[in-house]
Amino acid sequence: MLEVSGIRIPLSALDGTDKRELSACRRALARKLRVGEKDLTRVERRRRSIDARRRDGIQLTFTLRAELAGGDSAEQALLARLAKKHAGKNVRLVTEGTYGFPSPASRGTRPRPVVVGAGCAGLFCALSLARAGLEPLLVERGDDATRRGKIVRVHNETGALDPESNIQFGVGGAGTFSDGKLQTGTKSPAHHLILETFVAAGAQREILWDAKPHVGSDVLPCVVTEIVHQIEEAGGEVRCRCRMTDVDLIDGAVRGVTLLTTRDDGSVFEERVATDCVVLCCGHSARDVFELLHERGVPMERKTFAMGVRIEHLQADIDRALYGGAAGNPALGAAPYSLSCHLPSGRSAFSFCMCPGGYVVSAASEPGGVCTNGMSLSDRAGINANSGLLANVFPDDLPGDDVIAGVELQRTCERTAFEAGGGDYVAPAQLVGDFLQGVASTGAGRVTPTYPRGVAWGDVTPCLPPYVAETLRAAIPVLGRKLHGFDATDAVLTGVETRSSSPVRVTRGDDGQSVGVRGLWPVGEGAGYAGGIMSAATDGILAAEKIVATYAQR
C-alpha cells in the first residue's frame, strides 16, 4: 500500500459532503501519482487538516493511502519511478498496522485485577485485560452513562448535586461531557487502535483521519456504554455506584480493596475484595482517593497544574478571525483555536479544551463549590465558542510541604466562586474589558453566557490566586494580537476552571507500579500521567500490557 502525504485540495473543490471530498482526494491522488483514477483500487484518508494560513486561499491537506491495480509489484514499480521527484518525502510503501490489544494470558490461581475508575484510562485498561482473559473487575463510583446524563440534567435545571455521580464521576469519566476531543500531542502506536475502538463502538468514522478529531458529548454516552458491553462480553465485570473506600497494604504490597456499593433500592453493601493487582484510574477529581492514598503512605508528589476561567466569544467572530471570507463554509465547520504566550514575569497562559460551537458547563463534584468546564455536541452548532483560559500553578506556589495542598487550593477557589455567585451553583462572570480594567461587570454585551445555572455579574479576580489573575490579565492582550478579537471587551469570563489536570502524581517506577507499593498501578490523568482522552486511554492500554506480562510470568 502506498501512503502519500501533502495532498492539497482547495476549499473551492469541496462542499462539506463526504462523497465530494473522497472524490476530490481520488482525483488529486491520481494526478500526484501520474496514474489513472481507475488504477486506484482503494483510497482511504489517513489524515486531514485545514491550512488557513492564507485566508484567501484556504486548503485542506490530506495524507492518503492507496492500493494500485496490479498489487505490490505495481506499487513498487511506481514508487521507483517517483523516487527521483519525491525523494521518499511524500510517497512511501506502508503495511497495515498490526498493533492490537495484549495477547491472552492465564490468570491461574491469582485473583482477578481490580480497575478503579471507568474513565478512558479505566475503560481501555479493563477492555485490554478482559480480552487477555484476566476477567477484571471495573468499579466506578458514578452511574452508567444513561443515568448519569439524567442526573447532570437535573443539576443543570435545579442545582441539586449528586457528589457520587455528576460531570466528573460516572462511566466515561470527565471526558464524556467535555466534547470528546481526541487530538493529542503524544505519539503512540496505540492511537489508531483507540480510534478504531471508538468507531466500532459508534463514533463517527471521520475521527480516523481528522487532525483534530472529536466525538461530541451527545454521542459519547452511547460510545462508552458500548465499550462497557465489550468489557462484559470479554469476561470482565463492571459495577457502577461502587466506590473504593480502602486499600489493604501488607508488607509494601496490595492485598485487597474495600468497596462500597449503593444498590438501586438505596441500600449500601460493603465488601472486601482480595486482589494483588489494583489499577488506579480514579481521575483528577477523586480527591478522597488522594487523601486515602496519602493516609496509607503511598508515595505521591506535587505536580504542576493549571487554573483560570472559561472565556466565551461568538463563534462567528472566531470563524472570521481564522477563516476570513470563507467563514461558514460547510467544509470547514466551526473554527477551533489553540493559543499560548510566555510573559516577561516568567509565567505563561494558554487556552485549554477549546470547544467550538460549544457550551460552558457546571463541573462541580463537591457541595458548595463552583467549577466550570466546556463541551460541544457532535455538530458544534452552538452560537458561542468557549475555552479554558488558564495559568500554571507550580509546586513552589503552594504553601508548606503537604503533598495534596493543590487540592485544597482548588477547593478554596471553588468555594469562593460559589459564594461570589450567590449560591445554588450560579457562577461569577465578568466581561473581558472590565477584567482588564479591574472593575466589576453589571451585565452582558453581545455574548450571552451559556453556563446552565446562570451567572452573577461581578469580578472574578477574588476567586483566583493573585498570580493566576495577574497572569491572565497580562496575557489577554497578547493573545488578542495572536487571534483578532480574543481580547474583545464583551467576551465573557466565567469562573472558575480548576480541574484541567490533577494537582498530584502517584509516583510509579519504570515497571508501571507504585514506587512504594507492589501491585498498585497508578494510571491516567488522575494519577498524573495523562492529559486528555487519548493519552489516558493509551496509558490504560500500556498498563494492561505490563499487567498481562506479570500474570504470564507467574
- pLDDT of 282: 94
Alpha carbon 474 to its chain's center: 27
pLDDT in tens, 472-505: 999 999 999 999 999 999 999 999 999 999 999 9
pLDDT grade, residue 327 (50/70/90)? very high
Confidence of residue 88 (pLDDT cuts 50, 70, 90): low
> Where are the chain's structural domains?
2-93, 114-301+503-553, 304-497
What is the full DSSP assignment across 116-169? Answer: E--SHHHHHHHHHHHHTT--PEEEESS--HHHHHHHHHHHHHH----TTSSSSS
How confident is the model over 394-433, as pLDDT tens digits? 999 999 999 999 999 999 999 999 999 999 999 999 999 9
pLDDT at 97: 67
Cβ atoms of residues 387 and 372 within 8 Å: no
Residue 81 has pLDDT above 80, yes or no: no
Instruction: Give the C-alpha separation, 195 to 324, whole Å.
Output: 32
Which residues face 309 on adjacent strands?
A: 389, 495
Question: What fold, for 2-93?
Answer: Alpha-Beta Plaits (3.30.70)
CATH number of 114-301+503-553: 3.50.50.60
Q: What is the chain's percent helix, strand, coil content, to nearest 5?
A: 35, 25, 40
Instruction: Assess whether pLDDT exceeds 90 at residue 96.
Output: no
Predicted structure pTM score: 0.95
Q: What is the pLDDT of residues 191-205, one digit of tens each?
A: 999 999 999 999 999
| The pLDDT of residue 186 is above 80 | no
pLDDT, residue 98, reads: 73
Mean pLDDT of 252-257: 97
Q: Give the range among 31-40, 253-262, 293-302, 491-500 with minimum mean pLDDT.
A: 31-40
